[in-house]
Amino acid sequence: MSAEISNQLLELPLVISAEKCSGGTYIVTGANTGLGLEAAKHLVAVGAAKVILGVRNVPAGEAAKNRIIQDTGITGTAEVWALDLSSYDSVKAFAKKAIAELDRIDAVIENAAVATGQGKAEEHNLCMTVNVYSTILLALLLLPKLKENAKRFGTTPHIAIVSSGAAFDLRDKWSEIRDDPLVKADDPDIGLVSYPLSKLVEIFVVRELAKLLPVSETGVVLNLVNPGLCKTELSRNAPPEFQKQLADMHAKFGRTAEVGSRTLLHGAVGGNGSHGSYLSDCEVADYKLPSWITDEEGKKDQELVWNSLAKELEVVSPGSVNVIL
């Protein structure tokens, strides 16, 4: 267990406000529970015009919507849309609907994730498909609309991708697989390492994408959010032994889901200075990134990872990569 977890703050500022968010449209994935639900609830409470709850389980999403209405007293803002990140077709359908039906998008909070060492989807390890391939695909598919919105409305749309400091514990593992990480991530014996590995790959990819897509050209901010150790259901698919260990850590050091959601909201309004950055405790925290991620070798790794990912995503959705770069 890292010192950062054992010493993490249990209270964080709420950085959104009616002044920043009133009238805006927000997408929150994985919004039926935990961090996503709490973030969506805050956005509704401060006067967002529309908050899209992107969920795999639609009945659970409707229950979350009802809870938001009950807790905020505000109806007509939250909408439940189907989004299954284990399916590329679902991701493409969701993006197509958002582009067609939403007049504007002020921020996309990509919170949905799985933590499991088992399962496959779209011919990859389930963790990698959900947390990396589909998450980045959704960002790329929505990016052209966000770019257009930035020009039309004079806003700075954000894409906040929820990552994790757990990635920092993988230096030795990364050394073993860094020559072909996306292929080796699909090793059936990789086990629970697949979750922190997926978050490490996210960090490399977002840092490379931010370099390729400067705010000065796109008008869109892309950042990474570390919510810290939070009391959520993320580990519900993990082995019982791991769940017990995590429950003990939650009891001692865990943030509530509401406090953790404040980090996601910071990512959604973090400003130009957060572009390409790792955010933690509601601040830009690139200083927390290990040197092996940020040094010259790390920059080569991030370029290699992005190029490998981009090739597949361009096949999955032709034009999704080439049209934006």
Averaged pLDDT, groups of 10, the chain, 325 residues long: 64 92 97 97 98 98 98 98 98 98 98 91 96 98 97 97 94 95 92 93 98 97 92 61 58 80 97 97 96 97 97 96 78
Q: Could you give the domains of the chain? A: 17-316 (3.40.50.720)
Q: Residues 195, 235, 278, 280: which is the catalytic one?
A: 195
Query: Is 163 a residue of the active site?
Result: yes
Task: Identify whether 278 is a catalytic site residue.
Answer: no
3-state SS assignment for residue 126: helix
- The predicted pLDDT at position 230 comes to 73
**Beta-sheet strands, E only, within 6-70:** 25-29, 50-55
Q: Which of 41, 65, 145, 199 is catalytic?
A: 199
Tell me 88's DSSP state. Answer: H
What is the per-residue pLDDT for 1? 46
Which helix (DSSP H) or strand (DSSP E) does residue 314 occupy? helix 296-316
Burial of 248 (0-12, 13-18, 19+ CB in 10 A): exposed
The per-residue pLDDT for 188 is 87
- Respond yes or no: is residue 22 known to be catalytic: no
Q: How confident is the model at residue 235, as a pLDDT?
A: 52
Q: Distance between terminal CA atoms of the chain?
A: 40
Catalytic position from the list 26, 65, 88, 163: 163
